[in-house]
Amino acid sequence: MSACVAIIPARGGSKGIPRKNLARVGGVPLLARAVRAAREARGIELVVVSTDDDEIAAVAAASGARVVRRPGELAGDEASSEAALLHALAALEADGIEPGTVAFVQATSPFIDTDALGEAVRLIGDGELDSVFSAVPTYGFVWTRNADGTYSGLGHDAAHRPRRQDREPHHLETGAFYVFDAAGFRAAGHRFFGRIGVVEVPEQTAIEIDAPEELERARAIAPLVDRPEPIDVDAVVTDFDGVHTDDSVLVRSDGLESVSVSRSDGMGVKLLRAAGIRLLILSTETNEVVAARARKLRVDVRHGVEDKAAVLRSWAEEAGVDLARVAYLGNDVNDLGCLASVGWPVVVPEAHPAARAAARVVLTRTGGRGAVRELAERVLAARAATPVASPSAATSHVFHQERTDP
């Protein structure tokens, strides 16, 4: 099999969705998702990002890709993807890298099937085909509009409507990837040439983001499509209300407040501490109950905070922790800044829709009922720690806040 290089064109400009290649789906920038998929696919030996943008270049490098800086004339709206690919190949050849196979991967497809991509690489590398692209089979009847405003069947006889099981499907490009022989591509100057084939991918992955509504749809289905990942982090930061609690509070007539928390969560925190994971509770509420729980857990706390994201960044800098290796667990819109700042934005299942859309992980246990424990177990599992059995049911402990005189 010939060596394969994946090339991901990712320019900085975008009219439909500003900074589209850096938009997050499942809590991860689209570009980073594409780099990860290409790195995980069988047969791809090097992942390259072609860009004109400094921020995109930084995200690409942090994700493990090699960066090729392309000139401005190849980064405008009129520049073709083929031109960017040829430029990247020339840059690689100047460094002594001459791949036999090229995988053109698009960051605007957030759910790239890595097994299908690997199969496409194999088909080209083994010489079975010259050009392969991702596609979904469709049995739909397509119609085209005529000059007089009427419509005619495209690719089918309108007078003959065979059953689905009696006809072969058409195939619709998903735009996720195109894999082809490098020499043939240089000669043709186009991604489709020679013996062309398709690799079918699951229909639920066939989303290509060009419009805001497509981005929102991708964010909505990400928790259903993305495979669980090991949460490998150095620090865990959590909100309090709705995370350590079920977001409810009991208020007596004399002003005394109480909340319910999970002993199971407390054990999760203890296990994280024992594993050397840095911990912080971060809350907008000025509430002694937050401080009391933090003292009980022996966890650093910042409460009464207006700009949670700024405090998080400051804390991480003081602690010497890379935000890319921080998991933040939240539940509401005041957590959005923090969720966007860390490498692992995590939410409880009942989180506000905007918070869920920003999350890389949506937990299965609810706030105050084992959510923190679930996150702790996934962090510890990523560190290959000794598995800890989950309790069958989370017990609770009640913390009280003394009344504050008006």
Q: What is the CATH number of the domain that holds 189?
A: 3.90.550.10
Q: Where are the alpha helices (DSSP H) in 63-159?
A: 81-94, 114-125
Q: How many CB atoms lie within 10 A of CB 359?
A: 27
Say yes or no: 291 and 351 in one domain: yes
Q: What is the pLDDT of residue 249?
A: 79
Structure confidence by residue, pLDDT tens digits, 262-292: 999 999 999 999 999 999 999 987 778 888 8
Three-state SS for 290?
helix
- Whether residues 108 and 23 share a domain: the answer is yes
| CA dihedral of 163, 164, 167, 171, whole degrees rounded to 10 | 150
The dihedral through the CA atoms of 157, 163, 164, 166 has a sign that is: negative
Question: Are 113 and 49 found together in one domain?
Answer: yes
Q: Which of 225, 255, 278 is the last residue of a domain?
A: 225
* Mean pLDDT in residue range 46-69: 96
Let me know whether 309 and 367 are in one domain: yes
**For the chain, what is the radius of gyration of the CA atoms?**
25
Examine residue 397 and state whether it is found in any structural domain, yes or no. yes
Q: Are residues 69 and 124 in the same domain?
A: yes
pLDDT, tens digit, for every residue of 169-226? 889 999 999 999 999 999 999 999 999 999 999 998 899 999 999 999 999 888 888 8
Same domain, residue pair 217 and 250: no
Summarised one tens digit per residue, pLDDT across range 85-142 is 999 999 999 999 999 999 999 999 999 999 999 999 999 999 999 999 999 999 888 8
Structural domains of the chain, count: 2
DSSP letter assigned to residue 77: T
- The three-state secondary structure class of 305 is coil
pLDDT in tens, 340-356: 999 999 999 999 999 99
Fill in the amino acid letter for 144: T
Query: What count of residues does the chain have?
Result: 406
Average confidence (pLDDT) over 53-69: 95
Taking only the tens place, the pLDDT of each residue in 301-352 is: 998 888 999 999 999 999 999 999 999 999 999 999 999 999 999 999 999 9
The residue-averaged pLDDT of 218-244 equals: 91
Q: Which domain holds residue 324?
A: 235-384+391-401
Residue 243, C-beta contacts closer than 8 angstroms, at least 6 positions apart:
329, 330, 331, 348, 367, 368, 371, 372
Domain assignment of residue 230, yes or no: no
Same domain assignment for residues 206 and 269 = no
Please indicate, yes or no, whether residues 165 and 95 belong to a single structural domain of this protein: yes
Could you tell me the pTM of the whole model? 0.78
Letter for the amino acid at 208?
A: E
Instruction: Note whether residue 371 is domain-resident.
Output: yes
Q: Is 163 helix (H, G, I), strand (E, B) or coil?
A: coil
The mean per-residue pLDDT over the stretch 393-399 comes to 43
**Residue 71 sits in the same domain as residue 118:** yes
* Average pLDDT over all residues of the chain: 90
CA distance linking residue 314 with residue 35, whole number of Å: 29
In a domain, 406, yes or no: no
Whether residue 280 is found in the same domain as residue 374: yes
- Residue 347: CATH number of its domain: 3.40.50.1000
- Measure the CA–CA gap between 51 and 57, rounded to whole angstroms: 7
